[in-house]
Structure 1
């Protein structure tokens, strides 16, 4: 099955966004309301995912999310790769992000 990519502007309002970046990247800046599941933890954290909903998977630039979407779709889940990742979300489209450490959020 071919993995589907969507642009930041195609993500529906209120959609389930899963961030597969590492802890330090998440803490520096992430989408408010996203679920943090690092790529390496994905197979063991299926119970944390909204399995009945379409999931939009994001990372820094799209590589890790591509792998996550391939794994999820091969296992029967509806998942879409967010093209360009957090760079596209925040830097290209100016969509807001939040940090976990009280500092100015940024994409690392």
Structure 2
């Protein structure tokens, strides 16, 4: 990427970090971090008002590619955002809690 994107690994996320999950609804429904905010990448431009205005956002997707693009976009538009490298795959692999919608067994897809 031409511009560097601020990045953090899952183990280095600060306690109480505001996670913004930009995956598609089927990925979110299958399994996501508890307390994360869900705005699919394709809906972000029209849902900027849904973002907490003063929070530092930690942007997460499955592996870190989509979230890096969203982080770059947010930082260019006045937000304070950091990409979560490794995404939900890393989150899950490190044993962090994953919850699913509708009572299904949570999984990262």
What is the TM-score with the length of structure 2 in the denominator?
0.94
Give the aligned length. Answer: 107
Regions of 4+ moved over 2 Å: none
Aligned residue for 1:47?
A: 49
Distance in 1 between the 2:102 and 2:62 partners? 19
RMSD: 0.9
Q: Which runs of 5+ in 1 are unaligned?
A: none
Counterpart of 1:82 in structure 2 is 84
- Identify the residue that residue 6 of structure 2 maps to in structure 1: 4
Hey, what's the Cα distance between the residues in 1 that align with 2:69 and 2:47? Answer: 16
Shift of 1:62: 0.6
What is the 5 A alignment of 1:7-86? 7-86=9-88
The Cα offsets for residues 6-62 of structure 1, whole Å up to 9 and x where unpaired, read as 011121111110000000000000001000000011111111111211100000011
24-33 or 1-10: bigger deviation: 1-10
Unaligned 5+ residue runs, structure 2? none
Structure-2 residue corresponding to 1:97: 98
State the secondary structure of the residue aligned to 2:75: helix
